[in-house]
Chains A and B, each alone.
Chain A
Amino acid sequence: MSPEEREWLAQEQAAAFERNNGADVHDGALSAGYVAIARALRQPIEVQLPADFAARLAAMATQQRSAVEVESGLEKRLLLILGIIFGVAALVVGLIFGASWFAPVLGQLDQLGQSSLSLLLGLLACLGGSAVAQRLPLLLGRKHQALA
């Protein structure tokens, strides 16, 4: 056994001796030297938090939660209204100008060959795959936010 291993054992023996209120045995002067240290390290630390700390914090958390709930409820409603407005506007514009926009596009698609179309689809698939690969680590890392 190396001197370091012996010293580690002595430290651990002293720690166990103090943890078990002297029921464990420690042998040798080496571990005896660590008993005072283990005892000092086990001295309770005074917790200087107000007596109503838990109650106050619970009230604060509940307030925050209801504020967030109200905010998110309002946000959801506003988003829904906006979505409906945009949807209706897009439908109206599409009905008025749609024919003139889509005719040239359909004409060009007819001119494109079958091979060009597959190349275009392949490119879109690559872009989609790359976007998913970029977002995946972010999604997986989200669970560690509390610790960041």
Chain B
Amino acid sequence: MGGCTTGTCNRSQRRRIQYVVTIVPTSHAEDQALVDAVLSGSPGAFERLVREYQKLCWHVIHRMVRHTEDTQDLCQETFLRVYQYLHQYRNESALKSWIAQVAYSVAKRHLERKRIPLAEPSADGEGLSPLDRVSHDFDIEAASIVSQSADYLHEAVDCLPPLQRTILTLYHLDEMPIAEIATITGLAEGTIKSHLFRSRKQLREALNDRMGVAA
């Protein structure tokens, strides 16, 4: 539309491109200012950093481990690690991604210690998909179809493997772009897209089956 795909940009297009190029580091500049404040021991700076990113940290870790007390401990471990290694933060990526990356690796290591697989194959040994483990005890008549399907979906999301749950949450709830999720998880963008596609398809099929039963 307004791009210069043929390689011949007019002046206004060039100006727009320059604006885009200069606006990007500005957001990271705020991150860098916060990092500098923490590193110089400015009072309240680290507390501000924790307050700003604790929600994201909780999302990543809780989606991975699902256990509330473990999540609390791992959130603490994540921020202490962030504090310890903050001098290594380079302004190349957003601080948000860097912290999410630390949280992801802390949670991943926790799962590895507990021998919990990060991503399961689509079907287990008995030919059951993770969503087949969702409880069938819903009181169909007690709730409306809409709220019932929402409850069912939450339970179905919980039954997905940790990696898929986390990717879905980062993409839909935290509104992170696929490239950023790829950086956080250390996976290729294509792999993230594939996980997103398959998980949402699985959820839709499970919901369709469920609603078919309900009807």
Contact = CB atoms under 8 A, between A and B. Distances in A.
Contacts of B41: 65
Nearest to A4: B197
B109 to A, nearest CB: 9
Nearest to A19: B175
Contacts of B207: 33, 36-37
Contacts of B173: 41-45
Contacts of A120: none
A39 B150 contact: yes
Nearest to A39: B150
Interface in B50-92: 50-51, 54-55, 58-59, 62-63, 68, 71-72, 75-76, 79-85, 88, 90
Contacts of B62: 45
A145 B85 contact: yes
Secondary structure class of chain B's binding surface, majority of residues: helix
Nearest to B175: A19
A142 to B, nearest CB: 8
Given A42-B172, A60-B80, A61-B46, A54 B203 contact: no
Interface string A89-102: 00000000000000
Contacts, number: 111
Contacts of A75: none
Interface residues of A, number: 38
A44 B150 CA distance: 13
B84 A58 contact: no
A37 B50 contact: no
A47 interface: yes
A7 interface: yes
A61 B171 CA distance: 31
B131 to A, nearest CB: 12
A41 B172 contact: yes
B157 A7 contact: no
A34 B204 contact: yes
Contacts of A119: none
Contact of A48 (B68, B85, B157, B175): B68
Contacts of B157: 40-41
A42 B175 CA distance: 9
B129 interface: no
Contacts of B168: 41
Contacts of B63: 45
B153 A48 contact: no
Contacts of B48: 54
A140 interface: no
Contacts of B54: 47, 49, 53-54
Interface string A16-44: 00110000000000000110111111111
B208 interface: yes
Given A55-B47, A57-B50, A37 B200 contact: yes
A34 to B, nearest CB: 6
A11 to B, nearest CB: 5
B80 A64 contact: yes
Nearest to A36: B149
B72 A57 contact: no
Nearest to B172: A41
